[in-house]
Structure 1
Amino acid sequence: MKVWSLIARTLEAQGACALVSVTRAEGSVPREEGARMLVTRDGFHGTIGGGTLEWKALAEAQRLLGKPRQVKLLTQSLGPDLGQCCGGRVTLAIESFELSDLAQAKDLASREAKGPFTLSDRLPGITESFGERRRTVLVFGAGHVGRAIILALAPLPFDVTWVDPRPEAFPGAMPQNVTGFSGDPLQAVAAAPDGALAFILSHSHALDLAIADAALRNKAIAHVGVIGSATKRARFERRLREAGVDQARVAAMICPIGIGGIRSKHPAAVAVSVAAQLITLDEALSASATHGILPARNAG
């Protein structure tokens, strides 16, 4: 969630809002430090974990709506204070914003749009992180499964490039995090940023193979997945090796795509499986980068 752009838009439309931030999380808690929820006159956006903690935070935030700028710190032990099963302890910062804060919100929204940044002592003694590092996901194919995957990825923190050479295959509207591309799929492969994930499910096995060949040769793409079966994988492996694609990259190709344990072939079920797999791959890559470890390219 781009916090400051949402605050700015809300102030322009309604003149007031309140922000709830998890500033400290100890033990077993529903959300991590930095989780946020924006409360408006009409409802709220985001979550700090649900349950009694969130209802109490909502009530406190609603009491601050429309009042001059102020910050309230609220510390709760989830078990003793709220009767929640989690045994952790959470500190929340609940702050109000009014129209006079719009200029600052716009300035911070501009910084947020450029990427992650930190603020120190905006809230006394607290260093805050804003903005997201969003991984690029390339989805090749706008058929039934492709459409289902796009919908499954819509609420997730990915920047999705949806590729199909048939312009008429795309729906009239797309989720905000999706950019359609109806040109040559190999151009989309060549333009992939470092660390991208490429999942291939086009209308043609021949096109799938051509895209897989190009994607596996592009070392910027961390993982390559292809929809299919064990038989399709065997055929693709043989042809890719014959074409001179690096054997380690071919062996690491993900085919079939999706996590194990889901047997349904319904497009929505496949999409859930693929979305879960993409989250797992993204988290593994991010953890490797955080610890200074170069991930194995395209480990399936």
Structure 2
Amino acid sequence: MIPELAQAIERAEPVVLATVIRTFRSVPRRPGSKMLIFADGRTIGTIGGGEMEHRVAVEAANVLSTNEPIVVKYELVDPADGHAGVCGGEAEIYLEPYMPKPTILVIGAGHVGRAVCGLASWLNFRTVVWDDRPDAADGVEDADAKLSGSLSDALSRHEVTAETSVVMVTRNVALDLEILPVLFATPAKYIGLMGSTRRWETTREGLVKLGIGDDQIARVQAPIGIEIKAETPEEIAVSIIAEVIGSRNGA
């Protein structure tokens, strides 16, 4: 079971580990029995099958939504009284969530992009960097994944989910107008774009000409970062990551 759990964590796939921690009288499985429950309902292993296991799977979905472990207790005596079985005993099961690291996708591997990757990595984010210049992407030491080439192709291999925060620290408007429509097709939680207010207005006008709707354009936070009068790449990275964290926490 542990190897399968490790593989799920490596794939950044949310999963709940259910472990029988205490039993009384007759039960289908003894303490230490384990089962993995995935967000799509798949399971690996068993804690006894039947109605009890079904109820645990339902509880696991709640655990994934709250990211908080819980202990559930089931009586297995009389289904007519709402019990989860007829074995004659009781079981307590510990449900422990294993959530993937939050991901930051950094678009642009220049000075600021590298600083963002370094700080994000230190804060235990999973960092993915993309740049249209292969040498620039390869030079980022703190990235978990380094991508180049077509952004669409890159994102087909490294999926952007609703939990992904996108940091765009690109070099010009033309590149922004190529990249943003690709990102709008994803469920990214946060899309921030570095640049002056004037640059953003130019980019926005370009998006309108491309037929991008206001609802999509409104997803972009620009200029990116909280205002701390940052100047150096490292200071700008602090400003950006602070905003990303705030977005994730509902600030």
Fold equivalence (TM over 0.5): yes
Query: Residue 221 of structure 1 aligns to a residue in which SS?
Result: coil
1:235 paired residue number: 202
Shift in Å, 1:155: 2.8
Distance verdict in 2 for CA 1:110–1:237, change over 3 Å: closer
What whole-Å deviation, never above 9, does each CA across 1:96-130 have from its counterpart, x for those lacking one? xxxxxxxx865654564454323335599783525
Shift in Å, 1:258: 0.7
2:116 paired residue number: 149
Does the Cα contact within 8 Å between 2:193 and 2:224 map onto a contact in 1? yes
2:146 paired residue number: 180
Q: TM-score, normalised by structure 1?
A: 0.52
Alignment of 1:1-300 (within 5 A): 109-110=6-7, 112-113=9-10, 115-122=14-21, 127=94, 129-170=96-137, 172=139, 174-175=141-142, 178-188=144-154, 192-195=159-162, 196-216=164-184, 218-260=185-227, 262-284=228-250
Alignment length, in residue pairs? Answer: 179
What whole-Å deviation, never above 9, does each CA across 1:116-168 have from its counterpart, x for those lacking one? 32333559978352522333322111100000000011033433220012122
Q: Which of structure 1's runs of 4+ aligned residues deviate more than 6 A?
A: 123-126
Q: Give unmatched runs, 5+ long, in structure 2.
A: 23-30, 32-91
Distance verdict in 2 for CA 1:172–1:219, change over 3 Å: closer
Q: Give unmatched runs, 5+ long, in structure 1.
A: 1-103, 286-300
Letter in 2 for 1:265: E
Query: Residue 119 of structure 1 aligns to a residue in which SS?
Result: strand
Query: Residue 115 of structure 2 aligns to a residue in which SS?
Result: helix
Q: TM-score, normalised by structure 2?
A: 0.61
Shift in Å, 1:226: 1.0
CA RMSD across the alignment: 2.9
Query: Residue 221 of structure 2 aligns to a residue in which SS?
Result: coil
Letter in 2 for 1:208: D
Distance verdict in 2 for CA 1:231–1:128, change over 3 Å: same
Letter in 1 for 2:106: V
Letter in 2 for 1:272: V
Query: Residue 161 of structure 1 aligns to a residue in which SS?
Result: strand
